[in-house]
Structure 1
Amino acid sequence: MLTRINGTDIFFDIEGSALRKIDGQMCEVPTILALHGGLGFDHGYLRDGLGRLQDIAQIIYVDLRGQGRSGRPALETATLEQMADDVAELIRMLGPHKPYIFGHSAGGFVALHLALRHSRSIAGLILSGTAPTVAPIQDEPNQPTPTLADRAPPKTMEVAARIFSGDITAESVAEFFEKVGPYYAAPAQMGLTATLLQATSKNVDMMKHFMTKIAPQYDLTSQLHLIAVPTLVLVGAYDWVCPPRASRAIAKSIAQSKFVLFDRSGHFLFSEEPEKFRGVVVDFLADHADDPWSLSMSDGANTGRSANTS
């Protein structure tokens, strides 16, 4: 559905109810509000992975301004700060419950801004394959850093370089996702990217705006310590887009954070290791939900706490 927020139409869709009947009583379950990456995508590629949580949480999917089914305001209004403000207003409109914000990739950029600008509006963060900056980050000694060059041949690297240098057109984007897209996933699942992106529209103008205007200015490293909500930081060991060192930097700087490495995943860990993803998120929600009993009962099973963490 569409709602008018801050001068533009924002699309959102809801899976599941916020109240569930459990043992004869109406109980509130957690709400997860999902922010897609790109930028220039929509929420569609998130559905397969996050849909596995709808039995224990209400899921709200959002298309950020200028993307997907949302309106097309002037590109100069499409800043990370404005997108965070849009989401905060949507939360206010949907209230009164505070959601957990799931942010993937550049959606995590928006989620971090939201936590800094509107911390009282949210219950916590679930960050998946994101980063606090696009500038180089110093990692811990002896921590391997995945790169595209580790896996891709020279011709594929040339295709990637075209996009990353700002040569972003419909033709170059199509070639990028055909040639480079498979490497977004771990080696064993290189067909996954195409499958996920079938459900997602692409806005080339927004992609170019993000790559040339937004990303070069993005750096929240000095502000991360100000984030005071529970934060789950997830990353795939094969993720060269937002590599593990970026997630480790986030987790080190946020006091109430937990870092989890997905050993067999790339950039789409929620679909590459779906059972581990579900277990880690359920445990996180149970640790921080107002009524963890309702969460465990709505899940209908003992999830355990056996997920490997790092």
Structure 2
Amino acid sequence: MRPPADVRLLCHDVDMRVSIGDIRLYFDIDGPKVVPYGPIMVERPTLVLLHGGPGADHSTFKPAMYAAARFAQVVYLDQRGSGRSERGDPALWTWERWADDVVAFCDVVDIPAPILVGTASGGRVALTAAIRHPGRVGRLVLDSVLPGRVDERLDVFERLGGARVREIARRHWQGERSDEIRRGWEQVCVPLYSRRADGDPDAVDRARRIRWNHDVGERFRYHLADHFEEWIGLDAVTCPTLVLAGEHDPVTTASAARRLAAGLVNAETRLHVLPDAGHGAFREAPERSLAVLRAFLSGRDGVSARAERGG
């Protein structure tokens, strides 16, 4: 479908890619870094958004995150192998390399204290960056990041969809590649990721906008999923951290989010579990999540992780 004329007029040929060593990464920006405030110019915080998938791209944050440009500069980044970034060597599609890429990108474009905002697998990348480069990350926002234990995930799926859904999810996570399970996962399980009352009307168009690299997703499913030591190194995270989760997320469960917040023992941590949300807080409840984010950046939220632990 051809975009409207006013949209086409905004398109340009500027190459929004930067080289970091062996590869070029694509990025996009919403909002200025420096804004006028009376007689002076004031710097605003810079958010670096890290998409999930793995193998999706930065478009998953649009248009929900446009509103964040009202209080911060927003930088969208396609990770190595995904979206409009170069693919590079598939052997380098790893948590560590993706995390190091983020820091290298921030060095090149001069973001000295980035606020890393990661959703789903992008949150794992953000967390890995904070562990590997503890003095380099200004703040950390982890949205629907760590998977729950298998029994916890299956329990949520069964609560949301019944015993048949639980069985499909179990067989999918055990690596079964049959057409029956693939169709069941896509048609029955994936729709339960969202608990939005309006049915997430942008979901179909959002999925079509993504420049998927399904090879990254396959690598995650059969290699990377079991090679992320989520509970190792958390004590290295020292920057203020916000953990977001949906109470009805069947994959990155609320119970896992509570354990993550409790494990960040050396970071000032805030935990917000949205009671009627599924997977992806910024997609499920954008207005509420952005309000929590804005309060976190300003230091006015006042809700500690300990206030929600054990709930």
TM over 0.5: yes
Residue 278 (str. 1) matches residue 290 (str. 2):
yes
Residue identity over aligned pairs, in percent, reads 27
Deviation at 1:92, TM superposition (A): 0.3
Deviation at 1:119, TM superposition (A): 2.0
Q: Within 5 Å, which residues of 2 pair with 1:53-72?
A: 53-72=68-87
Instruction: Give the partner amino acid of 1:70.
Output: S
CA contact (8 A) 2:54 2:121 kept: yes
Is there any run of 5+ residues in structure 1 with no aligned partner, and where?
288-303
* Match of residue 247 from structure 1: 257
Distance 1:21 1:110 in 2: 34
Deviation at 1:164, TM superposition (A): 2.4
**Aligned-residue CA RMSD (Å):** 2.9
Residue 33 (str. 1) matches residue 25 (str. 2):
no
* Match of residue 215 from structure 1: 225
After TM superposition, the runs of 4+ consecutive aligned structure 1 residues lying more than 4 A away are 153-159, 167-175, 304-309
Distance 1:241 1:120 in 2: 31
Residue 183 (str. 1) matches residue 183 (str. 2):
no
Q: Secondary structure at the match of 2:107?
A: helix
Residue 199 (str. 1) matches residue 224 (str. 2):
no
Is there any run of 5+ residues in structure 2 with no aligned partner, and where?
1-15
CA contact (8 A) 1:32 1:58 kept: yes
Distance 2:277 2:211 in 1: 23
- Equivalenced residues, count: 288
CA contact (8 A) 1:279 1:307 kept: no
For normalisation by structure 1, the TM-score amounts to 0.83
CA contact (8 A) 1:146 1:243 kept: no
Deviation at 1:275, TM superposition (A): 1.9
Distance 1:21 1:171 in 2: 58
CA contact (8 A) 2:148 2:251 kept: no
Deviation at 1:36, TM superposition (A): 0.7
CA contact (8 A) 1:105 1:128 kept: yes
Aligned partner of 2:275 among 256, 260, 263: 263
Residue 115 (str. 1) matches residue 115 (str. 2):
no
For normalisation by structure 2, the TM-score amounts to 0.83
Residue 166 (str. 1) matches residue 179 (str. 2):
no
1 or 2 for the larger relative contact order (CA 8 Å, sep ≥6)?
1
CA contact (8 A) 2:45 2:115 kept: yes
Q: Secondary structure at the match of 1:125?
A: strand
